[in-house]
């Protein structure tokens, strides 16, 4: 076994990995590069459940493996970084998940890998055979009308297990021993990948940390498009300033429901039950930028779109078919927001969210020349959502609640979800956790979920991330210490920073004024975890 820095550096050559083999796959190439004096400043965003880190003058071996599944015509790349010095290897593997429609090997994910490297992990990513593309229209179809099922299955699940096998084999060849513990770290698509690994490959990783997992893709992506569909059906496209004003009114109305007025909504379900935006119709909104900086009035269309965004998809027959975003989340300002519009010369049109287009156009439209997403009737929208579930559920929805094999293998999983997520409804994850609990009543013994007030999609908005949660996962995996509360910092309405706690679902966090005497409301001790219902507003799977 190589133990010296010099010996490991010398071993960073393709011949060191000559024993690599994956059942069902054929090796195409192994390329290596010794990287020295590598430095990076990694912010908390792409670290997800870990704090920021400075990487300085690191040395590592970058191993890039290309392989194919014979007969499928695919070409998949797994990239693995093996630390040598500054820091040395910590005997562990941390895989980095993808995002959007990218399986891996994209900018944000590389920052996750930089952070893992800085902590001494061997770290890995895969492109699932899709190259650097983040747009499924580049790869979804083998030809017009025909989905490329090999690539789709690689993206959905197959490449994830290959990645675990390959990276562990590279580690053993390089260091002379495999990782003592292996972890997955991802959010959004990376979160879905992590849950898929727990479902289908329960031995791949000992610990899995996921944020805002994009589960139930065949329901989620149409739900992301739903606000645009409502605008299209009405033929009305509100100004963003109208939507922003409605969001601000929701925050004002619901702010104090957790016992503290601080500019945050801690209970979106209670907010939706108490706040009705319809009386806001006719309220003036001054200095509306999209309207040439003039004053406009909140329209009935804007209220209808906000309600549709918050309450979720409703079929033409009136059935609620999937969840909406939490009130307080940015549904209009960002160009990629779900209810965004583009306005020129006083005329507005819809601006669909790219993730929804990446599903509906290639996988449901399949390249048909007459497919026009802007002209769908309500019935046609319902049909597309149903067909998508019929065709693709088993490959991509990641909705199997039976995690008994993952539990029995000793696996542990933590998840978090921002209550101001701008793409994936927080109830997406809550729904899945409750489905697992219905099948496995001991779910709390191996899977814990946390909801974060004021956090947008994976990171951003007024809340920080639960940056202690990954270490808590490690303690759970490695010495059996289960995570309970986890800290988080939030920026409140007066511009200051508060310390809070997050509670494992279905517990809720509440402000306790009596506990705060002598501390002030910025102290984490002011918050307490209380029991909460686990089945509010669930939709039948």
Residues identified as active-site: 188, 421, 457
Q: Is the CB of residue 154 less than 8 Å from the CB of residue 180? A: no
**CB 63 within 8 Å of CB 170:** yes
CA distances for 455 relative to 82, 266, 340, angstroms = 33, 11, 19
The answer to whether the CB of 96 falls within 8 A of the CB of 113 is yes
Give the pair of three-digit tokens for residue 310. Answer: 């918050």
CA nearest neighbour of 401 among 413, 416, 388, 384: 413
- CA separation for the pair 209, 194 (Å, rounded): 7
CA distance 245 to 189: 31
| Closest to 264 (Cα-Cα) out of 278, 246, 250 | 250
Please say whether the beta carbons of 83 and 60 come within 8 A: yes
Which CA distances in Å does 493 have to 168, 260, 344, 437? Answer: 47, 11, 33, 36
Helix (H) or strand (E) holding 229: helix 217-234
- Give the burial string for 345-355 (b: 16+ CB within 10 Å, else e): eeebebbbbeb
Residue 19's H or E segment, with its range, is none
Residue 387 in contact with residue 365, Cβ under 8 Å?
no
Name the β-bridge partners of 77: 66
Question: Which residues are CB-contacts of 133 (< 8 A; sequence separation ≥ 6)?
Answer: 101, 102, 139
């Amino acid at each position: 076994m190589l133990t010296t820095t010099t010996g490991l550096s010398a071993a960073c050559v393709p011949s060191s990995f000559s024993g690599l083999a994956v059942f069902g796959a054929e090796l195409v190439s192994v390329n290596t590069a010794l990287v020295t004096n590598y430095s990076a400043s990694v912010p908390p965003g792409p670290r997800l459940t870990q704090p920021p880190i400075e990487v300085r003058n690191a040395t590592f071996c970058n191993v890039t493996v290309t392989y194919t599944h014979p007969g499928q015509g695919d070409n998949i790349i797994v990239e693995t970084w093996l630390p040598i010095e500054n820091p040395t290897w910590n005997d562990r593997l941390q895989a980095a998940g993808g995002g959007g429609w990218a399986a891996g090997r994209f900018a944000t994910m590389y920052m996750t890998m930089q952070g893992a490297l800085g902590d001494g992990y061997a770290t890995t990513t895969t492109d699932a055979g899709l190259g650097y593309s983040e747009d499924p229209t580049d790869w979804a179809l083998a030809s017009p009308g025909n989905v490329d099922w090999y690539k789709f299955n690689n993206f959905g699940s197959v490449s994830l297990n290959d990645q675990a096998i390959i990276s562990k084999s590279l580690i053993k060849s390089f260091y002379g021993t495999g990782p003592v513990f292996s972890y997955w770290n991802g959010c959004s698509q990376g979160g879905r990948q992590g849950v898929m690994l727990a479902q289908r490959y329960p031995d791949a990783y000992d610990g899995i940390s996921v944020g805002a997992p994009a589960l139930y893709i065949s329901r989620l992506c149409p739900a992301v498009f739903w606000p645009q569909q409502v605008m299209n059906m009405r033929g009305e496209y509100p100004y963003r300033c109208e939507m922003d004003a409605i969001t601000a009114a929701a925050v004002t109305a619901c702010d104090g429901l957790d016992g503290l007025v601080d500019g945050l909504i801690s209970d979106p379900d209670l907010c939706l039950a108490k706040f009705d935006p319809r009386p806001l119709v006719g309220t003036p909104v001054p200095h509306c930028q999209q309207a040439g900086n003039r004053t406009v009035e909140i329209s009935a269309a804007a209220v209808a779109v906000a309600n549709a965004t918050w309450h979720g998809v409703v079929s033409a027959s009136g059935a609620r078919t999937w969840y909406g975003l939490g009130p307080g989340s940015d549904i209009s300002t960002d160009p990629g927001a779900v209810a965004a519009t583009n306005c020129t010369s006083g005329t507005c049109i819809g601006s669909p969210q790219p993730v929804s287009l990446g599903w509906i156009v290639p996988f449901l439209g399949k390249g048909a020349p007459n497919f026009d997403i802007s002209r769908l009737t309500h019935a046609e929208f319902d049909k597309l959502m149903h067909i998508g579930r019929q065709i693709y559920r088993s490959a991509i929805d990641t909705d199997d609640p039976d995690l008994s094999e993952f539990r029995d293998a000793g696996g542990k999983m933590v998840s978090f979800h921002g209550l101001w997520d701008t793409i994936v409804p927080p109830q997406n994850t809550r729904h899945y956790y409750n489905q697992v609990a219905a099948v496995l009543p001991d779910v709390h013994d191996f899977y814990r979920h946390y909801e974060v007030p004021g956090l947008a999609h994976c990171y951003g908005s007024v809340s920080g991330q639960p940056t202690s949660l990954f270490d808590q996962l490690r303690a759970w995996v490695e010495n059996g210490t289960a995570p309970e509360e986890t800290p988080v910092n939030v920026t409140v309405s007066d511009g200051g920073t508060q310390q809070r706690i997050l509670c494992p679902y279905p517990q809720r966090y509440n402000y306790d004024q009596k506990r705060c005497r002598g501390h002030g409301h910025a102290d984490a001790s002011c918050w307490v975890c209380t029991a909460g219902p686990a089945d509010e507003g669930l939709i039948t799977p």
